[in-house]
Chain A
């Protein structure tokens, strides 16, 4: 006498619970395109002509010290590659979060360097006022956007 085999029902069909943002248009390509372009242009400028970038960047780079072309190109590589990653992630959705996390991590580390240099007096006492918008608020905005992207992308991962 054979006993009926009760097989556990399994389904190869994934759970099609609609993502919470599935019905809203995907605006992230706009953000990624502009952010990627900024990084790409800045990086290409640093790699192509460090001296031109050093003199003409509105952020007054000379105020931080003399030009070191090698270091400008080193940092230019970071911006350039971040730009490429961000732009590629427009079409490759699975890379979006990684690209934004990479950019946020770099911006956060950079902001921490500014805090450290302000605390040890390498930057002038009033320097934090100029850092406040571009460095600290800018980094917080980037981290907040990355957080939002992570929440929106969760259903797709």
Chain B
């Protein structure tokens, strides 16, 4: 084996573990993953422009998963939630999601999410089991 051959083979093999892990459909389907509107975490999925927002309401926490058009997770610069127009909380980045402490009772929440690029995303959502008027 020549030195060049060994370097080429080694370079390809170096990349192999990285390119073989994962391989989600976002690369293969030419954008069909934009049509993926399934909630991946058991919550409710919403579209905010070209972004996806999945809200998971747990017993004591609210989790927000923000992803781009191809469902690739995004890390917002900042995010806040205001419950019933009163208490405001910052959502903390944890793992690859935003997490906030859920109040014992609330009717609706205003979310404001600032992404590294683009305008802030805002949306008002009702608590689980609550129907928003209008």
Name A residues whose Cβ lies closer than 8 Å to a Cβ of B. Answer: 24-25, 27-28, 30-35, 37-39, 41-43, 46, 51, 54-55, 57-67, 69, 75, 79, 107, 110, 114, 123-124, 126-127, 129-131, 133-135, 138, 141-142, 145, 148
Instruction: Kindly state the separation between the CA atoms of A62 and B10 in the bound complex, as whole angstroms.
Output: 28
Beta-carbon contact of A66 and B41 below 8 Å: yes
What's the count of A-B pairs with C-beta under 8 Å?
A: 145
Q: By the criterion CB–CB under 8 Å, are A63 and B24 in contact?
A: yes
- Closest 9 pairs (CB-CB, A-B): A63-B24, A34-B10, A61-B22, A27-B6, A130-B28, A35-B13, A60-B24, A59-B22, A38-B14
Q: How far is the CA of A127 from the CA of B2 in the complex (A)?
A: 35
Chain B 1-23 near chain A by CB (<8 Å), digits 1 or 0: 11101110111111111111111
In the assembled complex, B33 has its CB within 8 A of some CB on chain A: yes
The distance in angstroms between the C-alpha atoms of A124 and B27, with both chains bound, is 11
| Most chain A CB neighbours (cut-off 10 Å) among B9, B30, B71 | B9
Q: Bound complex: CA of A38 vs CA of B41, how far in Å? A: 31
CB pair B9–A126 under 8 Å, yes or no, is no
Q: CA A131 – CA B18 in complex, angstroms?
A: 13
* Neighbouring A residues of B95 by C-beta, 8 Å: 51, 67, 69
Are A57 and B22 CB-contacts (below 8 A) given A30-B7, A34-B11, A38-B15?
Answer: yes
Q: By the criterion CB–CB under 8 Å, are B29 and A57 in contact?
A: no
Chain B hits for A129, CB < 8 A = 28
Is A38 touching B1 in the complex (CB atoms < 8 A)? no
Are B13 and A66 touching (Cβ within 8 A)?
no
| Cβ–Cβ contact B70 & A60, under 8 A | yes
Q: List 11 A-B contacts (CB under 8 A).
A: A24-B1, A27-B3, A28-B6, A31-B6, A34-B13, A55-B75, A58-B19, A59-B18, A60-B22, A60-B70, A134-B16
Distance in angstroms between the alpha carbons of A35 and B9 in the assembled complex = 9
Determine whether the beta carbon of B14 is less than 8 Å from that of A34: yes
Nearest CB of chain B from residue A134's CB, rounded to whole Å = 4
Q: Is B25 an interface residue (CB 8 A)?
A: yes
The answer to whether A134 and B29 have CB atoms under 8 Å apart is: no
With A27-B5, A31-B10, A55-B75 given, is the CB distance from A38 to B18 under 8 Å?
Answer: yes
For residue A57, which residues in chain B have a CB less than 8 angstroms away from its CB?
18, 21-22
Does B5 lie within 8 Å of A107, measured CB to CB? no
- Cβ contact within 8 Å between B28 and A127: yes
Chain B residues near A114: list those with CB within 8 A: 23
